[in-house]
């Protein structure tokens, strides 16, 4: 009787070694599946981001019909054929006749919840930001995410002076062209956007060539 119980228990209960092996195989297969899915979708994600960026350039630089990527290297801006690690890029926009309109500059920084990524248009001759689009954010739904959805907030950046400094004020109280109306209930997110703009623009101001001497549109750029 004891022998029968022992045999029955051994048959019904798999050994700990078998459990470990089974779990290990299952984990391996799951990992391979995740990696495979990531590899398959990586190019699609990259294509979508490139499309979104292209659309954003036209939004933040009114009047632009063509643009080219520029890399800052050896103290000057140069047309860039492709992105390389360690190099910083901006985009120069041109009208239908090939005349320079302004720069589209990407920036990012901490928000209330996570990193905020954005793109803004800048006209050096006017020293003004002429458009801003939030590309990615994880701010609080219904309040902080209004930095991307609220048309009144985005209107702040249609002709925003960058001098002496971009500052945030309580909504409805801005009297000066360098001020931004905060979103009610989302002051932290509003300040984050302005901080990103201020820091990014200050970093690029010393790198941009004098107004009127911007790089011409390369003949082989779309």
Residues 23 and 65 occupy one common structural domain: no
Supply 50's token pair.
């490139």
> Helix, strand, coil proportions of the chain in percent (round to 5)?
40, 25, 35
The reply to whether omega before 133 is within 30° of 0 (cis) is no
- 12 φ, ψ to 5°? -80, -30
The domain tally of the chain equals 2
Residues 170 and 126 occupy one common structural domain: yes
Instruction: Establish if 211 belongs to a structural domain.
Output: no
Q: Domain span at residue 28?
A: 2-45
pTM: 0.76
Residues 23 and 85 occupy one common structural domain: no
Supply 210's token pair.
């004098």
Q: How far apart are CA 74 and CA 13, in angstroms?
A: 69
Query: Is residue 185 packed enough to be buried (19+ CB in 10 Å), middle (13-18) or exposed (0-12)?
Result: middle
User: Over its length of 222 residues, how does the chain's per-residue pLDDT go in tens digits?
Assistant: 554 554 455 544 556 777 777 877 877 777 776 766 656 554 555 567 667 788 999 999 999 999 999 998 888 888 886 555 557 889 999 999 999 999 999 999 999 889 999 999 999 999 999 999 999 998 888 888 999 999 999 999 999 999 999 999 999 888 999 999 999 999 999 999 999 999 999 999 989 999 999 999 987 544
Residues 8 and 98 occupy one common structural domain: no
Residues 22 and 132 occupy one common structural domain: no
């Amino acid at each position: 009787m004891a022998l029968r119980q022992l045999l029955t228990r051994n048959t019904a209960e798999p050994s700990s070694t078998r459990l470990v092996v089974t779990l290990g195989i299952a984990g391996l297969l799951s990992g391979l599946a995740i990696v495979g899915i990531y590899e398959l979708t990586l190019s699609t994600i990259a294509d979508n981001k490139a499309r979104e960026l292209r659309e954003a350039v036209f939004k933040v630089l009114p009047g632009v019909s063509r643009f080219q990527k520029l890399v800052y290297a050896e103290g000057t801006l140069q047309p860039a054929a492709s992105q390389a690690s360690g190099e910083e890029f901006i985009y120069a926009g041109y009208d239908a006749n090939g005349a320079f309109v302004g720069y589209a500059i990407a920036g990012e920084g901490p928000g209330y919840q996570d990193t905020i990524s954005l793109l803004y248009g800048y006209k050096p001759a006017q020293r003004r930001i002429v458009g801003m689009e939030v590309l990615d954010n994880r701010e609080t739904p219904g309040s902080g995410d209004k930095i991307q959805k609220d048309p009144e907030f985005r209107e702040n950046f249609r002709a925003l002076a960058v001098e002496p400094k971009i500052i945030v004020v309580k909504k409805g109280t801005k009297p000066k062209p360098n001020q931004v109306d905060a979103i009610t209930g989302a002051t932290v997110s509003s300040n984050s956007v302005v901080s990103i703009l201020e820091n990014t623009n200050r970093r690029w101001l010393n790198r941009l060539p004098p107004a009127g001497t911007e790089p011409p549109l390369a003949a082989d750029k779309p």
